[in-house]
Amino acid sequence: MYVSNRVHQIRTLLPDCRWRHVDSANNPADCPSRGIMPAALAQHKLYWHGPQLAHSDPSEWDDALSPLPLCDLPELRPVSCAARVDEIEVEWFNRFSSYDRMLRVVAYMRRFIAAGIRRVRRQPDHIAPACMQKSELDSAARILEAESQRERSKWTKGLPNVKVDDMVVVVDNQSPPLRWRLGRIVELFPGTDGHVRVARVLTQAGSVVRPVVKLVLLPTK
C-alpha cells in the first residue's frame, strides 16, 4: 500500500498520467491471490483481458469516487512486534497407563498419516498388513523417546533465583561428590533479564565464581 510520499513521487515523475481507482472485483491482480484454481485461472477472462473499463472510452468510466488530496493520505509507519508460540504439551504420557498400548496407538497414527500423504500426492495405495510391523513399532518408539527428552521441566518451569548467604555445595567434575566443597554465596551476577546464572561463592579454599547450574542449594529449614 502506497503512503503519501510514494504517491507524491509517482505523480512528480509522471505528471501527465491520470490515475483511476479499480475496485477489487475488477482488479486482475486479485484473481490468483484469492485462491482461484489454476484450471479456472487459465480460462478467467478478467485475468487475461483486464477489466471492462480498459476497453471502453475514458469518458464512460465511473468517477463516483472523489479524489483524495495528497495531504489527506495517511502516512503508514512500520510497526515491529514480537510473537511467541507456546509449545502445546503432548498428553500421550498422561493419557495412557500402558506403554505398549501407547506405542501401538502412535504406530497406527503414523500409518494413517502416511496413507493420507500418499492419497494427497496421488501415489499408489499401499495395502498395510493387518498386524503391526516391528519397523513401525520401532519408529513409534523413537518418536516417544524424542518427545520425552524434549519435555524437560528445566525449560518449562521457572526456578527461583539463588540469594546471598545461601549455603551451597560446589560441583566439581574432577572430584567425587564426597569431596565437593561447601560454600556460601557472597555475590550475584544477574543477567539483563533479571535471572541469576553466575554467583561468587566463598569456600574454605577461597572465593570462586561458578554458574548456578554447578551449585547445589542446601535446605535451610
CA gap 21, 5 in Å, rounded? 18
Helix (H) / strand (E) element for 209: namely: strand 206-211
Residue 217's DSSP bridge partners are: 168
Residue for cell digits 515491529? 80
Do residues 210 and 197 lie in contact, with contact meaning Cβ atoms separated by under 8 Å? Answer: no
Residue 189's DSSP bridge partners are: 198
DSSP state of 20: -
Output the average pLDDT for the chain: 80
At 17 the pLDDT is 78
Contacts of 215 (CB under 8 A, 6+ apart): 162, 168, 169, 170, 171, 185, 199, 201
Kindly report, residue by residue over 169-208, the tens digit of the pLDDT.
999 988 898 899 999 999 999 888 888 889 999 999 899 9
CA gap 214, 171 in Å, rounded? 5
Which stretches of the chain score pLDDT less than 70? 1-4, 62-77, 84-91, 126-128, 151-159
Query: Other CB atoms closer than 10 Å to residue 96's CB: what's the count?
Result: 15
Q: Which amino acid is at 193?
A: D
Do residues 47 and 57 lie in contact, with contact meaning Cβ atoms separated by under 8 Å? Answer: no
Q: Tell me the domain boundaries of the chain.
A: 3-55, 97-149, 166-217
CA gap 92, 95 in Å, rounded? 5
